[in-house]
Amino acid sequence: MVYVRKLFRTIGLKPRKLTKEAKAAAAGISYEQPQVEAGSTLDFMLSTLSREAAAAYVHAVVSDIEACVAESRATAQDVGPENLLERIHALKNAIAPIGSQQLRMACEQLRLDACHGADRAPLERRFEAVARAAVKLILSFRAASGP
């Protein structure tokens, strides 16, 4: 390896700098936008239910996610880390019908960071960001699926 490096220096070859995307791929991190997976519960329900029933289903899923956020705001600093883990788990369950791998991974990363004692304020902000992304995804998918 030493000889290879020496050769590279003599011919003026420098290591290439990795882009943010390349570094993320090497680390197993994804910066993809969340999307509703084909065959997910949300996809199935919107394709098979009547317009009114689909709207009611979307409202119920969005309400579950918003309830997780409301509970999070109400108990943000008052309780221990185990409560934060319960709320992350509740959010993960609430977004499960979307089938979004990216949102599931975001919840899992939140859980791991909470288990390792990360600062609570950034975790709370990320929690709300994941919830907002889920609601936005559901509503945009509903709009794209038709009236």
**pLDDT tens-place string over residues 71-98:** 877 776 666 778 889 999 999 999 999 9
Which range among 11-20, 76-85, 110-119, 130-139 shows the weakest confidence by mean pLDDT?
11-20
13-53 pLDDT per residue, tens: 555 555 555 555 545 555 678 889 988 999 999 999 999 99
What's the pLDDT at 74? 74
Cα–Cα distance, 60 to 123 (Å, whole number): 25
Q: Amino acid identity, residue 31?
A: Y
Average pLDDT, the chain: 82
Please report, for residues 9, 12, 15, 17, 18, the alpha-carbon distance to residue 6 in angstroms, rounded to integers and kept in the order given.
Answer: 5, 10, 13, 19, 21
pLDDT at 32: 72
Whether residue 95 contacts residue 135, with contact meaning beta carbons closer than 8 Å, is answered with: no
- What are all long-range contacts of 100-104, with beta carbons under 8 Å and residues at least 24 apart? 100/34, 100/35, 100/36, 100/37, 100/40, 100/134, 100/137, 101/37, 102/30, 102/32, 102/33, 102/34, 102/35, 103/34, 103/130, 103/133, 103/134, 103/137
**What phi, psi does 12 have (nearest 5°)?**
80, 20
Of all residues in the chain, the percent with pLDDT exceeding 90 is 48
pLDDT value for 20? 58
The whole-angstrom distance between residue 131's C-alpha and the CA centroid of its chain comes to 8
CA proximity to 41, closest of 104, 4, 96: 96
Give the mean pLDDT of 1-18. 59
Q: Where residue 118 falls among pLDDT bands split at 50, 70, 90?
A: confident
pLDDT of res. 145:
80
pTM flag (> 0.85): no
